Structures are given as C-alpha cells and as structure tokens.
C-alpha cells in the first residue's frame, strides 16, 4: 500500500519538472570538453586570421518526453559563424552532436547567437515548446613587432626590416629593446625566438612555447658586443602559429669616438687608444710636457665625463671642464706632465672617457736600492727599515746577504759601510773596498753575521752613506751545561809547590764556551798568603772550551794550569764559571757549581837556605830563610862543628824565638810573605888568653841549624865556615 503511494508521488514529482530543463549539454574544443547550461556563452579562439576555430556541441535529452528539433538552427550576428546541425528527434536519453565553426576574416572580435527551437511530445502529442541557445564570441590574435624607443614608444618593424644598433666601442655592449605585442582579440602562440650573429645576443626570452594574451606585450633585449671594429650583421626570428617574423640586426664596432694626436717637443704624432705615450726622460726634479688633442669623428655629439690619470710622477695640469659635450668634428686637448722624484722607470695610465693610454718615462740620476736574502727569500728594504735575522740559539751564528743595487741611470758612489752594535752580536763580512762606484744596474754584496751574545731581542744599526737600517735578531737560551770535573792535583798539597790542574766536560757541548777559574783562600792563621795564585800571576785565570770538545784550554794553550800553594796552612778553593761565547754571552754556570779544594796542612817549619853573613876573625852571622805554615816559631838550634884539631867549649846553642816570632807574624810586613821568614843570628867568639888578632872563627868548620814550632822540628841545613 505504501509502495504504490510512494511510486505515485515519485511520478508526480518527475512530471512536474519543466521541459526546458531536461537537457545535458557539453562543448568540446581543442580536445577538452566542458558541461554548459542552455543559454551559455561559447568562445571560439582562432589561432590566426584565416584559420577556423570549431566547437563540437553534444545535446542529450534527459527527460522521458521526446524532443523534436524540426528545423536547422538560426545563426544571428556575424556571418563568420556557421553550424552543422540538422532536424532530429531525440527520445529519452538520446543525444545528438553538431559543430559550430568560426572563420575569422580579421583579428577583431566577432559576436553572434546560436538559436535552435524544439517541441516536446508525450504519447505523440505536443506538450511544450522551447529552444537551445548560445551566445557566440570569436577571437583571433594579431602579432606586431617593433623597437621600444628610449621614451617608451613602440616603433613598428615590418617583416624583413632592419634593427639598427648605435656605433659601439670594442668590447662594450649596446642594447636595443625588441618588443612583440598582441594587438588582436585572442591569444597568440609563440613557439620559437632565435638570434643569429656571433656578436649578437638576446636576453629576456621567456619559456617557450608561450601564449601571449590579447593586449599583452613582451620586451626582449637585443645586445651587440663587438670584439673587433667594422660592420657586423645578424638576424632575429620569431616563429608563431600562423607565420614567421624575421628582422636583420645591423651594427658597427668602433675603437673610439675620438681620434687622437700627441704633441711633444714640437712634433705631432697620431696615436690610438691602447697605445703608449712616452714622455721625455728628465732628471729628478725636472719636468717634461706633452699635449694630447682629441677630435669627435662620430656623427653625433659625445659627452665626455671622465679624464683620469694614475701613476707616480705623472699629472694632468690642464684639461676641459667636465662634463663637456664634444660636437662632431670638434677638438679638445689636455696637458700631461712628468716630474720624477727619484730615478728609474715610471709607468702610468691616462683615461679619456672610455679610451685609455699607458704612460711611460724615466727619471735620470743615480739611485741606490737595498735588499737582503734570508732563508732563500729576497726582501727589499728602504732606509730606516728593518733587516730581520732568523731566530738562532745563543752562541750560534746566522747570516744574511745584503745587496746594494744602483737602479739609477748614472754611476752612484758608496762612501762607507759600517755597523754600530752595543751588544757585539752583529758583524760585517766580505765587505767590498770603499769608497766604490756602482754603475747603473751594478750591485755590491756583503754579509751581515748575527752571533748573539745573550738571550732575547738584540739590535744594531747598519749605515750605508747617510742611510741607516735597523738590524734585529732574536736569540734563544743555550742548552744547559753538561757535568764537568777537575783533573790533575787534588786533596792535600805541600806548601810552596806548583801543582797543575785541568777542567774537563763529561760530554761535548755544541757551543764555544769561555770561563774563569777563581781562587778563594781560607787561611788557618787569619792571614791570606798572596803567593797563592795561578802561574799567570793572578788569582783568576781565563779558559775556553771549543765547541764539541771536552777540555778547557788556558792562555798558554795548554789543557792544564799551575798554581802556587803558598806557605800558610789552610784551604785553596777553585771555582769555575761558564759563559756561552766570549765574555758577554749568557752565564750558564750551575747554581751550585762543582769546586776543587786543595788543602795545605799545618806542618813543621821548613828551612830553605842558610848562609853566612858578615864575618870577622872573632864574629860571624848566620842568615836563615824558610817558612812555617802555622806562622809561628818557637826556637832555633845551632850545632857548631869544630875545625880539625880545634877545641870549642860549646857546640850547641838554642835560641828562643817565641816573642820575636809573634812580633813578626802579627806585624803588617809579614802579611805580604805569608808564612815565610828570614832570620839573621850574630855570633861573637871569645877565648881567654888569645891575642886580639887571633882568628877564632877558623876554629869552626861548619854550622848546622834546625827550627822548631808547636808542630815539630824542621829539616836541618848546614853551612861551611871558610
């Protein structure tokens, strides 16, 4: 029951739809289809005037009624529209297709209307009327080609025409704006844009193919860059639907807008851009002059904005006031001068607008230049500049080769070469004899040696004539001293002797060493014996140890040095110091140096000589010399030996010297002789009953003497009595 009711309602709804809404309509153009409504607008775009544009229309009856198209459609408006429709009856859901064609006669837009009446039938009875209609529009493109002027105006160019470039300087670029405009009513399709000619190029070309809509324009930049002078030609070609456009490109490369001539010393010579202008060579401080004239040889005025000059010694004291407009065939001029401040060749460059010339001249006179070679590299240096030496360890030597060159045009004099060096680290070597004359291009070379005598930065000055150069070098610390030891005498030594000692390294040292041995005396008697000294006569002696050797060498060339032990008991301490190089170098003596100690012991006195002094028949004196290391004496013992057959009442005598010894050794005079002494003892002889003329001394044949102190008795010495 409900189903029948629903069905009836559905039918009623279906039948209530108006007949004119019962069509499905599609339009296909260029391979693409779209659905449209009845009464829609259809636009037919022709690719070019003379080429047809077609739209295929398909109508489908979407109703249950029959639709009868009894006659051909009507085309109203422009006659450029035609249709292929025919009378047809469409049953439910049946379709029919036909074409509408547009055949443009111009690029102007055409309008029209398509109108196709129909009748609807149901059961063979007409039940409605209507029509299918479309508003038609037809378009076609029209391409125009031209050149855009500087004011923006479009100047047409006919197919086969010429695009003219202005005269262009070599290796410069001239540009022309080439335009393509669509003045038609439809889009134009451009498939290719090409340029020919080796010196021509085209910029701004869009991605192709390109649809250029009606009323639009594209601008391209045609460029000409001549590498050589003379006329050049090429072409530009545009390919589009419906045809091809071609225009000739015409241009000329030129070297300059101006022609030039140079006047110097009254002579005038033609010259071209890029050539050299050689001014007269003059002495330092003098001036040479040339005048450059230029004429505008082109057919148009030329605006000159720039006159520029570079190069030491050159100037342009007069030129046109810039900017200046040079009319065709008009001539202008400028003045060029050369004033050298030193000798030698000079170069420069003159620019006149886009043209340039090289300049050359020579300053005449002597000119000394300086350089030095270090590490294989040559370095130029000017007076007041710095000559830098490589860093070197103290005690070693590095050198630079210094060269004086006469770069002038006449001979130069070198009066003197010298060094002022307060450090003693710099020295000249292989000096040429001065004064000397250096001809042009001649050189003089010598060496400068850097042998640092201390650690750190060192400097000196080198003088050549009146020019001064600063010498600088840096020295690193020397390596530490290897261990060393004394050789020769050691330990306890007898007084009044001359033992020999030496000094030796435990391993070779890479640098030359110098040093001194210093004697320090520690006396047991509070008096220092001045006799304790080296054989050189002082208590200090110098030595050297040549690089890579072991033994110290003393002033006499020997590897040992003698010293006097003196006559006073005590210690003799010998301390070395070490210096790299000679004297002013770095002290590398260890903080706690190894020393040599020789000990002179406290011994019994020693007699050195005994002799007779003043002598008469009844008296004589005994003169003794000797030393006592304790600086004290207690007594002298004399032993008389009678002559043969003589009788002497007493043959042994002892003299107490304690007081006399104390007075002597505590006196100032004894300080100069250490433990030495000299004693004169007088003897007077007497014999009872002897006459005054009796020779009593003859009764004694010899005298022996011995000295004693708290440490013992000395040796015994004897003297014969004549």
Residue 600 near residue 614, CB atoms below 8 Å:
no
Query: What six digits make up the tokens of 496?
Result: 């009044």
Which helix (H) or strand (E) element contains residue 68? strand 66-69
The residues, any chain, with a CB within 8 Å of residue 202's CB and separated by 6 or more, are: 178, 193, 194, 195, 220, 221, 222, 223, 236
Rg of the chain over Cα atoms, rounded to whole angstroms, equals 65
CA distance 547 to 47: 103
Residue 117: left (phi > 0), alpha (psi -120 to 50), or beta?
A: beta
* pLDDT > 70 in the chain, percent: 96
**What pLDDT is recorded for position 10?**
32
Tens-digit pLDDT profile for residues 436-482: 999 999 999 999 999 888 888 999 999 999 999 999 999 888 899 99
pLDDT surpasses 50 at 3: no
- The fold for domain 258-364 equals Immunoglobulin-like (2.60.40)
User: Are 260 and 273 spatial neighbours (Cβ–Cβ below 8 Å)?
Assistant: yes
pLDDT score of 9 more than 60: no
Q: What is the DSSP string of 50-63?
A: T--EEEEEEEEE-S
Dist. CA 509–CA 580, nearest whole Å: 10
How confident is the model at residue 689, as a pLDDT? Answer: 66
618 within 8 A of 697, measured Cβ to Cβ: yes
* Res 294 pLDDT > 60: yes
Q: How far apart are CA 554 and CA 564, in angstroms?
A: 16
Token duo for residue 438 = 């250096």
Neighbour order of strands in the sheet with 596-600: 491-492, 596-600, 570-580, 513-523, 540-545
Handedness of CA 10, 11, 15, 21 (dihedral sign): positive
pLDDT of residue 690: 62
CA distances to 14, 610, 697 from 687, in Å? 200, 26, 11
How far is the first Cα of the chain from the last one, in angstroms, to the nearest whole number? 196
Most confident of 70-74, 648-652, 700-704: 700-704
Would you say residue 12 has pLDDT above 90? Answer: no
Domain locations in the chain as residue ranges: 19-139, 148-254, 258-364, 368-476, 484-600, 606-720
Q: Which residue has the tokens 């190069």?
A: 311
Distance CA 445, CA 464 (A): 12
Q: Which two tokens stand for residue 416?
A: 């003197």
Q: Are 625 and 613 in contact (CB under 8 A)?
A: no
Q: Which of 3.40.50.300, 3.40.630.30, 1.20.190.20, 2.60.40.10 would CATH assign to domain 368-476?
A: 2.60.40.10
Would you tell me how many other CB atoms lie within 10 Å of the CB of residue 3?
A: 7
pLDDT in tens, 523-582: 998 899 999 999 999 999 999 999 999 999 999 899 999 999 999 999 999 999 999 877
Phi then psi for 221, rounded to 5 degrees?
A: -110, 110
Q: What is the pTM of this model?
A: 0.48
- Superfamily of domain 606-720, CATH level 4: Immunoglobulins (2.60.40.10)
Rounded Cα distance between 515 and 554, Å, is 10
- Whether residue 628 is predicted with pLDDT greater than 50 in this model: the reply is yes
Residues 91-101 have pLDDT tens digits of: 999 999 999 99
The alpha carbon of 68 is separated from its chain's Cα centroid by a whole number of angstroms, namely: 98
Domain 19-139 of CATH type 3.40.50.410: no
DSSP per residue over 380-416, as a string? Answer: EE-TT-EEEPPPEETT--EEEEEEEEE-SSS-EEE--
Domain range 484-600, CATH class: mainly beta
Distance between CA atoms of residues 238 and 180, nearest Å: 9
| pLDDT tens digit sequence for 593-627 | 999 999 999 999 999 999 999 999 889 999 999 99
Q: Is residue 8 pLDDT above 80, yes or no?
A: no
CA 429 to chain centre: 31
Give the torsion sign (CA, 12, 18, 20, 25).
Answer: negative
Alpha carbons 519 and 595: distance in angstroms, whole number: 10
Q: Do domains 258-364 and 368-476 have the same CATH topology?
A: yes
Rounded to an integer, what distance in angstroms lies between the CA atom of residue 240 and that of residue 293? 53
Q: What is the pLDDT of residues 268-287, one digit of tens each?
A: 999 999 999 999 999 888 99
pLDDT of 13 reads 32
What is the CATH topology of the domain spanning 148-254?
Immunoglobulin-like (2.60.40)
Please give the mean pLDDT across all residues of the chain: 91
């Amino acid at each position: 029951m409900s189903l029948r009711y629903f069905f009836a309602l559905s039918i009623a709804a279906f039948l209530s739809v108006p007949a004119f809404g019962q069509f499905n309509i599609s339009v296909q153009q260029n391979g693409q289809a779209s659905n449209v409504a009845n009464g829609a607008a259809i636009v037919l775009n022709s690719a070019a005037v003379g080429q047809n544009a077609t739209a295929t229309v398909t109508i489908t009856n979407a109703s249950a009624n029959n639709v009868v198209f009894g006659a051909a459609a009507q085309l109203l408006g422009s006659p450029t529209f035609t249709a292929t429709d025919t009378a047809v009856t469409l049953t439910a859901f049946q379709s029919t297709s036909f074409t509408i064609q547009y055949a443009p006669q111009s690029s102007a837009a055409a309008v029209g209307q398509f109108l196709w009446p129909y009748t609807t039938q149901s059961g063979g009875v007409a039940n409605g009327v209507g029509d299918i209609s479309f508003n038609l529009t037809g378009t076609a493109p029209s391409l125009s080609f031209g050149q855009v002027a500087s004011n923006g105006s479009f100047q047409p160019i006919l197919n086969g025409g010429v695009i003219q470039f202005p005269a262009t300087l070599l290796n410069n670029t001239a540009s022309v704006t080439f335009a393509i405009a669509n003045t038609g009513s439809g889009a134009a399709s451009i498939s290719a844009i090409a340029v020919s000619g080796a010196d021509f190029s085209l910029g701004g070309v869009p991605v192709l193919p390109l649809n250029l809509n009606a009323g639009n324009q594209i601008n391209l930049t045609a460029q000409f860059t001549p590498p050589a002078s003379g006329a050049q030609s090429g072409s530009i070609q545009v390919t589009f639907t419906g045809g091809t456009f071609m225009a000739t490109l015409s241009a000329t490369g030129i070297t300059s807008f101006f022609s030039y001539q140079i006047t110097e010393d009254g002579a005038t010579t033609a010259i071209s851009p890029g050539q050299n202008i050689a001014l007269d060579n003059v002495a330092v401080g003098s001036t040479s002059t040339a005048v450059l004239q230029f004429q505008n040889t082109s057919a148009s005025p030329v605006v000159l904005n720039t006159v520029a000059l570079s190069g030491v010694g050159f100037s342009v004291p007069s030129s046109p006031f810039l900017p200046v407009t040079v009319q065709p065939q008009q001539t202008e001029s400028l003045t060029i001068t050369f004033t050298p401040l030193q000798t030698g060749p000079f170069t420069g460059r003159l620019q006149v607008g886009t043209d340039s010339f090289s300049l050359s001249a020579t300053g005449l006179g002597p000119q000394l230049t300086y350089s030095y070679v270090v590490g294989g590299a040559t370095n130029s240096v000017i007076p007041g500049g710095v000559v830098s030496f490589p860093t070197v360890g103290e005690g070693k030597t590095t050198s630079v080769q210094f060269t004086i060159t006469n770069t002038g045009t006449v001979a130069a004099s070198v009066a003197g070469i010298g060094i002022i060096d307060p450090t003693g680290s710099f020295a000249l070597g292989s000096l040429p004899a001065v004064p000397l004359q250096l001809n042009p291009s001649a050189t003089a070379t010598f060496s400068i040696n850097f042998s640092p005598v201390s650690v750190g930065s060192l400097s000196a000055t080198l003088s050549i004539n009146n020019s001064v150069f600063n010498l600088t070098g840096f020295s690193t610390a020397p390596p530490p001293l290897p261990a060393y030891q004394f050789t020769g005498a050691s330990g306890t030594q007898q007084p009044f002797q001359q033992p020999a000692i030496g000094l030796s390294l435990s391993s070779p040292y890479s640098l030359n060493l110098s040093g001194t041995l210093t004697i320090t005396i520690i006396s047991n008697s509070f008096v220092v014996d001045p006799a304790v000294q080296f054989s050189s006569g002082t208590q200090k002696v110098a030595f050297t140890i040549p690089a890579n050797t072991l033994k110290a060498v003393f002033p006499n060339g020997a590897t040992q040095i003698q010293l006097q032990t003196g006559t006073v008991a005590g210690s003799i301490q010998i301390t070395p110091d070490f210096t790299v190089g000679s004297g002013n170098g770095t002290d590398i003596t260890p903080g706690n140096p190894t020393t040599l100690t020789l000990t002179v012991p406290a011994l019994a006195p020693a007699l050195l000589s005994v002799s007779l002094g003043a002598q008469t028949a009844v008296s004589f004196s005994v003169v003794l010399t000797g030393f006592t290391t304790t600086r004290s004496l207690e007594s002298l013992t004399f032993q008389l030996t009678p002559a043969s057959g003589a009788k002497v009442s007493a043959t042994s005598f002892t003299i107490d010297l304690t007081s006399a010894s104390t007075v002597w050794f505590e006196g100032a005079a004894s300080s100069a002789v250490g433990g030495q002494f000299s004693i004169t003892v007088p003897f007077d002889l007497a014999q009872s009953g002897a006459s005054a003329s009796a020779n009593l001394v003859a009764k004694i044949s010899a005298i022996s003497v011995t000295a004693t102190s708290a440490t013992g008795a000395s040796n015994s010495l004897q003297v014969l009595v004549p």
